[in-house]
Amino acid sequence: MTFQRDRGTEVESLGALVFHMARHHGWDGEVLLNYGSVEFLGPYGALGSPDANGIRLPAGFTSRVIARSGQRVTGTSYTWHNAPDGGACYADGSGWIYVSNSEINPSGGAGAVKFSATGAITGAYRILSGTRQNCAGGKTPWNTWLSCEEVDRGYVYETDPWGVKAAVRRDAMGRFKHEAAAADPVRKVVYLTEDVSDGCFYRFRPTTWGDLSSGTLEVLVAGSGTSGPVSWARVPDPSGATATRNQVSGAKRFNGGEGCYYADDTCWFTTKGDNRVWQYNAAAQTIELAYDDSLVTGGTAPLTGVDNVTGSSSGDLFVAEDGGNMEICVITPDDVVAPFLRIDGQSGSEITGPAFSPDGSRLYFSSQRGTSGSSSGGITYEVRGPFRS
């Protein structure tokens, strides 16, 4: 720990930093105490002063603006959509594509930006139109983008990141207030979150893996605890004529499901109503908490307003904040939780759509409402630097 002794010695007790620290023998980050507050430092170190884009980054990282809502994407004729939200990246030859939802209602939809091998923007275009409040979504192993409607009895749309094939509505994946999706290629299912205060956690088992036109929607069943074994039960009527979350006795409730991300037999998902990050162990069929801000004592929790989530090849999770203090925080495999970046001057916004380029060297995300606090003020960024691998 580093103490700023010349600024006084009255500090609050650190207490328990995060839920999982009790299961580990050491802390490999740092903690700074400033005027009685706590600043958590993770593997990337302290955040610097705001750059020209108002982003505080660790040493060695830089940012640039990729697109702004209502303005043409540089070098293209495409006008970037309002309220940019969930996103993902796709390899495209030696370059890549970043897709981004539009969380407005009506019109919604999704757009995409294409990059060359050097990161230069080479194109931008629509991949989905005429939908409602497209919040988050998920990438499939067959390189489509699942765009989720966050409205009552919303749909999932399967889209083509290249904008060549028409988007297809996937009714079999259920009608509810969708938030995000994450594909599990081992068990051949797609996990789905529901953004209501008494929502559920679902999985869709397609009849044929790679074809989402038919299959079985299931809901997670478990007790009221925060850890332990779980099971899955079929949702009798995915159409949602009766709310899907109310069709199965014993379906476990989650307070405002948000982002989800799958890797290495685990699906991580966030719940904004209680500021928790959950992990579902698909191999063992158990759940537990990866983070709970109510278990952090002795200062401000390092992560609040949990929302979209993605991961890197190092096993680090990157969790975006909806509100909080506009940070993307990292959760390491050793359960260190700390800010990776912070956006200054945009307190009326939220961070959305974190996704890594295929080589892991660039992180894309948006400030949904930017400096204006309006959906027409969205800004999409790229951060480049020495990410852990």
Q: pLDDT tens digit string along 11-55?
A: 222 333 343 433 333 334 444 433 334 457 899 999 999 999 999
Give the pairing of strands 2-3 and 30-34. Answer: parallel
Residue bearing the bigger pLDDT, 297 or 334: 334
Q: Are 239 and 181 in contact (CB under 8 A)?
A: no
Q: pLDDT tens digit string along 172-197?
A: 999 999 999 999 999 999 999 999 99
Residue 78 is given by DSSP the state P
Q: Are 157 and 146 in contact (CB under 8 A)?
A: yes
Q: Are 256 and 269 in contact (CB under 8 A)?
A: no
pTM greater than the 0.75 cutoff: yes
Q: Are 383 and 55 in contact (CB under 8 A)?
A: yes
pLDDT at site 298: 75
